[in-house]
Amino acid sequence: MIGIFGGTFNPVHYGHLRSALEVKDIFDLAEIRLIPSANPPHRDLPSVSAESRLKMLQLAIDQQTDLKIDDRELNRAGPSYMVDTLKSIRSEIGSQPLILFIGSDAFNQLTTWHEWQALFNYAHIVVLTRPNYHLQALNDFFSAHLSIDRTELAQNSAGKLYFQSVRQLDISATAIRDMIAQHKNPGFLLPDKVLTYIRQHQLYLR
């Protein structure tokens, strides 16, 4: 099984990295790929270029062989629709199971994503939840795709919705950007090498 974790990573932080490592173990993934978004359709254009966000991801992962970066969205013009990314990965991996991991915040917006129902033609979706998180009412489409047995994901290429509780670190890129803008030190919320890069390039100072 291959897992992917999309985001703006503006900047990448330990919340992203820890979750990615954790799901690699929980789902016994052959690979977990972090996919930086170039032009996220749901938000303003990130304040920092795609190249810098990619560079920070590379610095964050460094010697960590358990995590990989997939930069295909940066090589594609137009909005970074996840459905196009999944199609493109699917065309390369044949019928291997593919899992798209998203946070519960992203799941709450999922029905606004471009061709959101088609996502399930190409991948399973696993929503990363907090321990004791209470599921919101699911619409009929989600209920029809819901699985409560993790082994079903390995047995099918795509099409299941699963909720997985992971250790949550209360870290967000927004909070890190705000700290930097206020000349506070966000150390220990993100890798030192990423923070050094941010300082060298004077990012997020506003």
Binding site for ligand ATP (CB under 6 A): 7-10, 15-16, 19, 102-103, 105-106, 128, 168-169, 171-174
Q: Which is nearer to ligand ATP, 158 or 189 (CB)?
A: 189
Closest approach, Cβ 11 to ligand ATP, in A, equals 9
Please tell me whether residue 7 adopts helix, strand or coil conformation: strand
Task: Please give the helix or strand (H or E) that residue 87 lies within, else none.
Answer: helix 82-93
Closest approach, Cβ 95 to ligand ATP, in A, equals 25
User: Using H for helix, E for strand and C for coil, what is the string for 11-43?
Assistant: CCCHHHHHHHHHHHHHCCCCEEEEEECCCCCCC
Structure tokens at 193: 């090498």
Residue nearest to ligand ATP (CB): 103
Q: Which is nearer to ligand ATP, 104 or 121 (CB)?
A: 104
User: In the block, which residue shows the tokens 């989600």?
Assistant: 142
Residue type, 142: F
Q: Which is nearer to ligand ATP, 14 or 88 (CB)?
A: 14
Phi, psi (rounded to 5 degrees) for 51:
-65, -40
Q: Which is nearer to ligand ATP, 15 or 191 (CB)?
A: 15
Closest approach, Cβ 94 to ligand ATP, in A, equals 26
Closest approach, Cβ 196 to ligand ATP, in A, equals 19
**Residues 113/87, Cβ–Cβ less than 8 Å:** no
Angle between helix 192-200 and 50-61 (nearest 10): 150
Closest approach, Cβ 136 to ligand ATP, in A, equals 15
Q: Which is nearer to ligand ATP, 96 or 129 (CB)?
A: 129
